Amino acid sequence: MITATARAAVLDIEGTTGSAAHVYEVLFPYARVRLADWFASHRDDPRHGELLAEVGEATGTAVDEAGAVAALTAWADADVKAAPLKRLQGLIWSEGFADGTLTGHVYPDVPPALLRWRAAGIDCYVYSSGSVTAQRDWFGRSNEGDLSGLLRGHFDLANAGAKTEAASYRSITRAIGTPPHLTVFLSDRVGELDAAAAAGWRTVAVRRPEDPSTPMGEHPLVSALDQIRLTAPAPDPVPAPAPAGPTGPGSPTPRDEDSRS
């Protein structure tokens, strides 16, 4: 059992709270075959132009619709964590979640852990390379039901930055207002854990039994969230009230003092 004092827990998704296989075998293929169709059916949508501009910025050259689809497909095939790809995947997945074609995968130990930590006064957040839209759908329409009410917020590549950069974790610290030493990060990627530790966060490595036995450095290691016990720090003591002034018979009041001047 790993124990830690914390005010916030920040959780990765794939390999940590949900199955990485579900992402690679279900969600990624679902989005990949729909990249071109999404652009073709959303030409009057402002997001169409925004995505073209984002792909152009990422590639360093202006792109038309065909060029954007080609770049996005190449990124998808190489599993590049490019922000425009993650955004479009989230938009495509959202339609699948809405019509019931897709569900998010959450390990059965996750909901009890979120409930337990919330009851202890700890705020839970998600930080994933997947877009905020995808994260909300994943937890809102999961195989374990709607878990969105157990999460205080979401962070992704667009609003926080790359997960292997310490600056991204410092950005989250500013956003949530929790000191780094009272923030715990859970992930299955050692590079992410190293970056969080460099920002002053506590870290816990998660390696699910079905996942490869990759090195996790010196980060504490668990195979499920029920092996983590988080407790909130004691509240700051309330300052004692200042002693009252003299109130006995004959004690001067402010008006008495004024009358003597």
State residue 254's pLDDT score.
Answer: 43
Instruction: Return the C-alpha torsion angle 219, 224, 132, 121, nearest 10.
Output: -90
State residue 185's pLDDT score.
Answer: 98
Q: What share of the chain is helix, strand, coil (3-state, %, to 5)?
A: 45, 15, 40
Amino acid found at 12: D
Element (H, E) at 204: strand 202-206
State residue 248's pLDDT score.
Answer: 47
State residue 115's pLDDT score.
Answer: 97
Ranges of the chain whose pLDDT falls below 50:
248-261
Beginning with the edge strand found earlier in the chain, give each strand of the sheet holding 8-11 in spatial order: 153-155, 123-127, 8-11, 183-187, 202-206, 221-222
State residue 75's pLDDT score.
Answer: 97
Tokens 């997960």 belong to which residue? 163
Helices (H), 17-131: 20-22, 28-32, 35-41, 46-59, 65-78, 83-98, 110-119
Neighbours of 218 (CB within 10 A): 11
State residue 65's pLDDT score.
Answer: 96
State residue 241's pLDDT score.
Answer: 74
State residue 238's pLDDT score.
Answer: 67
Instruction: Return the bridge partners of 124, or none.
Output: 9
What pTM was computed for the model?
0.82
Contact 132, 156 (CB under 8 A): yes
State residue 246's pLDDT score.
Answer: 55
Q: Is the dihedral of CA 25, 222, 173, 120 positive or negative?
A: positive
State residue 251's pLDDT score.
Answer: 46
